[in-house]
Amino acid sequence: MAQVYHTDHFFEKYNVRTDLALESHQVVVEKEGPPELPGVKVETEEQEGIIITRITVENELGAQLMGKAPGNYSTIESRALREHNRDLQENLAELLAQELEWFFSESKLAPEDGILVVGLGNWNATPDALGPRVIENLMVTRHLLEMSPPELRHGLRPISAISPGVLGLTGIETGEIILGVVDRIGAKAVICIDALASRSVDRLCSTIQISDTGINPGAGVGNRRLAINQESLGIPVIAIGVPTVVHAVTIVSDALDLIEQGNLNGAPGDQIPQRVQFEVDPDVLLGKKQSPQTIPNLQDSVGKRRLISQVLEPYMGSMIVTPKEIDILIEEVADVIAGALNISFHEGVNYDEVFKYLS
């Protein structure tokens, strides 16, 4: 429950909902000022248009500041994930595999240890179907290795996979299904793949996050489910996530910021104001009389988001948005993640052949 508490505290303080540790760090730095946060270590690496950010939340103080549980978070950002460039996507799969291998070593997984891969999400809803799509392209080998002598295994790790669906389809908590399967097959680690929520439209389907802190299914869209982590399962849990949705409040707030800053592109000769002054009538917006002191400050982004949430309620305040080409993006991101997993799982699979194993 610690991770849920951290997330709720962060949302109440900054009124920003994001599943990405990178964005949480950016929000705190923007609002609080210091580039370095106590209890948080950040490293950034850039190569050929790909940015890798590694964040370590070292203690409880860092967890409270970031709204994220203590642990390691790696984020890979690249526009290639949205540009349909197969060569760049293969490079991304290779880099993602290298990051995954680091997490495996930190979890002290031996080459012969079995891993259960869980594709979280609802396969009937495209923005939430990332996990099941990855499972479709995964090389599952547990059933083969059990019947094969060691000399014929050729560096393959025993991998099993499930797509347990969501509570609304099964009536069973996803965490309960995973716990039962882990107990039955004796897996040494679990990898969960899920769709995430972002605070930035630019990061939709162009960012991959890996963490060793587990996952809370549905947390990005406000649903609370049984946590899937080392505490609940008793074995290491590595989470892989890609943001596929953004909250409508975030889009409206970002649009107002652009207007205020005069950054909207107009036709030649158009006069774009450098700053827009808002006058808020609380009787109109909130439906009741309030003193000026209780009206959110529109020059403060947190206050602005809270006001927008109130204006958009009851129907649009909880609305989430996804790109119109989400079906294609999900397929391509799923290929990258499945390719990276196949590489990192099996020593016999090399980088040049990774996409040959994908349909």
**Tens of pLDDT, residues 141-189:** 888 776 666 655 666 789 999 999 887 778 888 889 999 999 999 999 9
Residue 229 pLDDT exceeds 70: yes
| Band of residue 85 on the pLDDT scale cut at 50, 70, 90 | confident
Do both 147 and 288 map to the same domain?
no
- Lowest-confidence segment of 26-30, 74-78, 306-310 by average pLDDT: 306-310
Which carries the bigger pLDDT value, residue 19 or residue 270? Answer: 19
The three-state secondary structure class of 44 is: strand
Res 334: pLDDT: 94
Kindly state whether residues 58 and 77 are assigned to the same domain: yes
Structure token digits, residue 331: 């397929």
CA-to-CA distance for 203 and 79, rounded, in angstroms? 9
Q: How far apart are CA 98 and CA 103, in angstroms?
A: 9
Secondary structure class of 35 (helix, strand, coil):
coil
The per-residue pLDDT for range 236-279, each reduced to its tens digit, is 999 999 999 988 777 777 677 666 666 555 544 444 444 444 44
One domain for residues 210 and 295 = no
Task: Judge if 317 and 339 occupy the same domain.
Answer: no
Q: Is 328 in the same domain as 261? A: no
Q: What is the mean pLDDT of residues 197-221?
A: 84
Find the domain containing 48 and state its range.
2-249+322-357
- Evaluated on CA atoms 113, 114, 118, 119, the torsion sign reads positive
Same domain, 227 and 263: no
| Rounded alpha-carbon distances, angstroms, from residue 179 to 154, 249, 293 | 30, 36, 50
Structure tokens at 164: 């347990």
Regarding whether 276 and 233 lie in a shared domain, the answer is no
pLDDT in tens, 277-307: 444 454 544 444 454 444 455 555 556 666 6
Q: Say if residue 233 is in the same domain as residue 298.
A: no
pLDDT tens-digit map of 44-78: 999 878 999 999 999 998 898 888 999 999 999 99
Reported for 304-310, long-range contacts at CB under 8 A and 24+ positions apart, including other chains, are 304/253, 304/256, 305/15, 305/16, 305/249, 305/250, 305/253, 306/15, 307/280, 308/249, 308/252, 308/253, 308/256, 309/15, 309/249, 310/285, 310/286
Q: Are residues 208 and 89 in the same domain?
A: yes
Distance CA 166, CA 52 (A): 31
Same domain, 305 and 344: no
Integer Cα distance of 141 and 349 in angstroms: 13
Q: Are residues 300 and 242 in the same domain?
A: no
Do 224 and 263 belong together in one domain?
no
Decide: 217 and 176 in contact? Cβ < 8 Å.
no
- CATH number, domain at 346? 3.40.50.1450
- Helix (H) or strand (E) holding 338, with range, is helix 326-345
CA–CA dist 40, 72 (Å, integer): 10
Place of tokens 């869209």: 221
pLDDT at 301: 58
Q: How many domains does the chain have?
A: 2
Token reading at 218: 């549905």
